[in-house]
Amino acid sequence: MKKQIRKYAFLLLIVFGNGYAQTKKHMDAKKPIEERISLLMKEMTLEEKVGQMNQYNGFWDVTGPAPKGGSAELKYEHLRKGWVGSMLTVRGVKEVRAVQKIAVEETRLGIPLIIGFDVIHGYKTLSPIPLAEAASWDLDAIKKSAAIAADEASASGINWTFAPNVDITNDARWGRVMEGAGEDPYLGSKVGYARIKGFQGETIADLAKVNTIAACTKHFAAYGFVEAGLEYNSVDMSNSKLYNSVLPPFEATVQAGVRTFMNSFNTLNGIPATGNAFLQRDILKGKWKFDGFVVSDYASVREMIAHGYAKDEADATAKAIIAGSDMDMESYLYVAKLVALVKEGKVKETLIDDAVRRILRVKFELGLFDDPYRYCDEKREKEVVGSKANNDGVLDMAKKSIVLLKNAYPPGRNENLLPLKKSGQKIALIGALANDKNSPLGSWRIAADDNTAVSVLEGMQQYKDNQLTFEKGADLLSQKATFLTETVFNTTDKSGFEAAKIAAKNADVVVMVLGEYGFQSGEARSRTDLNLPGIQQELLEEIYKVNPNIVLVLNNGRPLTIPWAAQNIPAIVEAWHLGTQAGNAIAQVLYGDYNPSGKLPISFPRNVGQVPIYYNKYSTGRPIDSDKNVFWSHYMDVEKTPQFPFGFGLSYTKFDYKNLQINKTAFSKGEKIEVSVDITNSGNFDGKEVVQLYIHDEFASIVRPIKELKGFELINLKKGETKTVHFTLTDAALGFYDNEGKFLVEPGMFNIMVGWNSNEGLTGKFELK
């Protein structure tokens, strides 16, 4: 009898199992993706649909036992029911395979998870921070850097990164300035486009490759303009600024094929971005026809209550989905409230269907339905993560990111300090950051191991024919320093000053490595003081008294105010936080094995009182001192110009600009304007130059910036070589958006400048009729 029962049970299992298998027509890889999505959604309950819109952080050791008790057990049960569409910060093949196995093999429909992670400037092998990469102006290198990051992340089970950040910002007080490409929308658009292609590949079809990951453009929108540079703060700006400065890089990533967007923490026009239908429905999904999905920032759905925009959890949930936020990151509200809101008629199920379709679309494009374990190859993980090829790649990116800010003759010398001689010199290396293997990794390096960067000391020790002496001088941090709460810097302990002064006095050249600690910039790292923190400025001045032959190497994630150094120190190198190979890159630049070619993607202020400061500002009614009196736009205590302007960067060689040509003096709308200039390397080194083209529309229906970057070209020139650089301007470069978002191309006079930074160059003029 028992055998008969088991036999019938087995037959029933086969019958019902086969019947259910027949409904899985969405698993047929030969069918178009849109058809597969429709077939799957027909099988989904409302609860399972909402589950796809729910994202949880990694909440337990997934290779260990199931969690018991509390929210972790609840989340685990949601995962087993198919009520989780994505998880973040789960990493490593073993961990990802374990959590994916639950989603695929234990839930009713077996819908795979998309695994997200903050791959901001690399996974374990780190490139320079994004602001530093933008300083290279080398779009091919930036694209390759993102591809390296995607290669390592995908090898570790991850298939979605929360990058790139394309927030335009001109306020160095904001810590997240390190995540973006600086102050200019044109450069920011080009960099964002390149990073999308690096992460995702050239086409949507490339997403199914094992070494690419889905990208996520963030933060939509205007987060770079938070008031006072204060994290999570409000934004209040004109439509002109929004359409012409903020939105272009976001639109460029849509054109590049980005598959996801993340909204932002800030309000815009009094409405939190997470609940902002104007941004998400009207512009992104409407005007730009974006067909990927939007994920909230961390708990930003719930935070609309604290903003005072939503009265309770249900209200916040309804406002977020109605506004176009498709996936809820870690607010727990969609999974808790959305089903009831639909059943009560407060949210249309068509909005749920649209969101789920978008999410499933990306999962199909990634190939997760065809092979949910495609990113779970332990052999590949071991081969790819930390490989020599990847280290070589980030070293190349790091060298290209370095900006030479100053290289003058020191007192009593008739030659520049840089490049350093490779033999016969006594060099004193001073500064706690010079022997730091952790800080150069920068912020946003969750998967990287601590203390794995090559230090400047280690890099310079590779050049063995000089006498190198290292002295710390002073600790940067106090013993109480912590980055979970507040940073505490050393402001009193000068016990190492004397040893550093002795080393400097006995040296031919002093290299001082000063700046910010790696975690001093990034999310929630706003500053009101942009000087060198701690007692570093005092150390610098004390060393200068005994030996003025100083090369100052800056490690930082944002512009710093260094007026004393800019006036007194003969050589200054902006070396940012350059990642895993930082020390090698810096040493190779200092010794001239690599000629620096970086240009600043953001202006450096003289003091924090100038902030926000940026090159593409508007004129005023009184821009200059024409009447020789006090009544004009200026500061009484400092120049109104930056210490180092946007686009600025020197080389060990010299470039001469000559023969600026515009093919005509007058053009009609639709005509192409051809601009050319001759560049000669007249110095003693081979080198690279970023040739920059700026325009100014002299008068318009809405005032235009005094300069706008509209083209750049990175060229290689051998010593004595001349090249002609050509630019083509179209209506897209000459036009602008009005306050309703309409693109206008108006007749008038245009000034052109082609130069070596935003403040200097050759000028010309033409008319658009």
- Whose CA is closest to 713, among 686, 691, 728? 691
Give residue 486's pLDDT band: very low, low, confident or very high (50, 70, 90): low
Is the pLDDT score of 599 beyond 80?
Answer: yes
d(CA 311, CA 305): 6
Q: Give the pLDDT confidence score for residue 482 in this predicted structure.
A: 59
Rounded to the nearest integer, the mean pLDDT of the chain is 95
Region of 520 (left: φ > 0; alpha: ψ -120 to 50; beta: rest) is alpha
Q: Give the pLDDT confidence score for residue 529 in this predicted structure.
A: 96
Q: Could you give the 3-state DSSP secondary structure of residue 753?
A: strand
Q: Give the pLDDT confidence score for residue 526 in this predicted structure.
A: 96
Length of the chain: 769
Name the residue type at position 225: F
Region of 61 (left: φ > 0; alpha: ψ -120 to 50; beta: rest) is beta
Give residue 487's pLDDT band: very low, low, confident or very high (50, 70, 90): low
Name the residue type at position 493: D
User: How many CB atoms within 10 Å of residue 269?
Assistant: 13
Region of 747 (left: φ > 0; alpha: ψ -120 to 50; beta: rest) is beta
Is the pLDDT score of 21 beyond 60?
Answer: no
Strand 722-729 with 673-681, pairing: antiparallel
Strand partners, 271: 268
Q: What is the mean pLDDT of residues 548-559?
A: 98
- Distances 309 to 39, 106, 317, 319, 346 between C-alpha atoms, Å: 38, 39, 12, 9, 17
Is the pLDDT score of 547 beyond 90?
Answer: yes
What lies within 8 Å, CB to CB, of 106 at 6+ separation is 80
d(CA 60, CA 75): 10
3-class secondary structure for 236-295?
Answer: CCCHHHHHHHHHHHHHHHHHHCCCEEEECCCEECCEEHHHCHHHHHHHHHHHCCCCCEEE
Tokens of 108: 């009713």
* 254 CB burial (10 A radius; 0-12, 13-18, 19+): buried
Q: Give the pLDDT confidence score for residue 9 in this predicted structure.
A: 42
Express each pLDDT in 295-327 by its tens digit. Answer: 999 999 999 999 999 999 999 999 999 999 999
d(CA 752, CA 761): 9
3-class secondary structure for 445-483?
Answer: CCCCCCCCCCCHHHHHCCCCCCEEEEECCCCCECCCCCC
Is the pLDDT score of 265 beyond 80?
Answer: yes
Name the residue type at position 219: H
- Whose CA is closest to 649, among 688, 614, 593? 688
d(CA 219, CA 587): 35
d(CA 337, CA 327): 13
Q: What is the mean pLDDT of residues 256-279?
A: 98
- Whose CA is closest to 589, among 468, 678, 462? 462
Strand 114-117 with 260-263, pairing: unpaired
d(CA 113, CA 360): 10
Vertex 583: Cα angle to 582 and 588 (nearest 5): 105
Structural contact between residues 329 and 299, judged by C-beta atoms closer than 8 angstroms:
yes
First to last CA, the chain: 96
Strand 426-430 with 467-471, pairing: parallel
- Whose CA is closest to 225, among 280, 275, 273? 273
Is the pLDDT score of 11 beyond 90?
Answer: no
Q: Give the pLDDT confidence score for residue 2 in this predicted structure.
A: 44
Is the pLDDT score of 397 beyond 70?
Answer: yes
Q: Give the pLDDT confidence score for residue 761 in this predicted structure.
A: 98
Strand order in the sheet with 293-295: 216-220, 260-263, 293-295
Q: What is the mean pLDDT of residues 96-125?
A: 97
What lies within 8 Å, CB to CB, of 266 at 6+ separation is 219, 222, 223, 226, 232, 233, 234, 235, 272, 273
Q: Could you give the 3-state DSSP secondary structure of residue 357?
A: helix
Q: Domains in the chain, please, with CATH? A: 47-382 (3.20.20.300), 401-610 (3.40.50.1700), 655-768 (2.60.40.10)
Structural contact between residues 406 and 138, judged by C-beta atoms closer than 8 angstroms:
no
Is the pLDDT score of 3 beyond 60?
Answer: no
Vertex 545: Cα angle to 541 and 546 (nearest 5): 125
645: Cα separation from own chain's centroid: 21
Give residue 484's pLDDT band: very low, low, confident or very high (50, 70, 90): low
* 110 CB burial (10 A radius; 0-12, 13-18, 19+): middle
Strand 54-57 with 743-744, pairing: unpaired
- Distances 523 to 40, 443, 649 between C-alpha atoms, Å: 39, 8, 27
d(CA 763, CA 354): 51
d(CA 221, CA 246): 7
Strand 760-768 with 666-667, pairing: parallel
What lies within 8 Å, CB to CB, of 760 at 6+ separation is none
Q: Give the pLDDT confidence score for residue 150 in this predicted structure.
A: 98
Vertex 461: Cα angle to 457 and 463 (nearest 5): 135
For the annotated catalytic residues, the residue numbers are 297
Q: Give the pLDDT confidence score for residue 411 in this predicted structure.
A: 81
Q: Could you give the 3-state DSSP secondary structure of residue 655?
A: strand
Per the confidence metrics, is the pTM higher than 0.85? yes
Q: What is the mean pLDDT of residues 595-599?
A: 98
Express each pLDDT in 35-46 by its tens digit. Answer: 999 999 999 999
What lies within 8 Å, CB to CB, of 660 at 6+ separation is 675, 676, 677, 752, 754, 762, 763, 764
3-class secondary structure for 616-648?
Answer: CCCCCCCCCCCCCCCCCCCCCCCCCCCCECCCC
d(CA 54, CA 766): 55
| Half-sphere exposure for 433 (CA within 13 Å, toward CB) | 31
Structural contact between residues 531 and 486, judged by C-beta atoms closer than 8 angstroms:
no
More confident call, 428 vs 413: 428
More confident call, 69 vs 584: 584
Q: Give the pLDDT confidence score for residue 6 in this predicted structure.
A: 45
Tokens of 706: 């005094």
Q: What is the mean pLDDT of residues 206-231?
A: 98
Q: Give the pLDDT confidence score for residue 18 in this predicted structure.
A: 38
d(CA 133, CA 179): 10
d(CA 558, CA 272): 26
Structural contact between residues 89 and 57, judged by C-beta atoms closer than 8 angstroms:
yes
Q: Give the pLDDT confidence score for residue 412 in this predicted structure.
A: 77
Express each pLDDT in 132-188 by its tens digit. Answer: 999 999 999 999 999 999 999 999 999 999 999 999 999 999 999 999 999 999 999
Express each pLDDT in 600-649 by its tens digit. Answer: 999 999 999 999 999 999 999 999 988 889 999 999 999 999 999 999 99
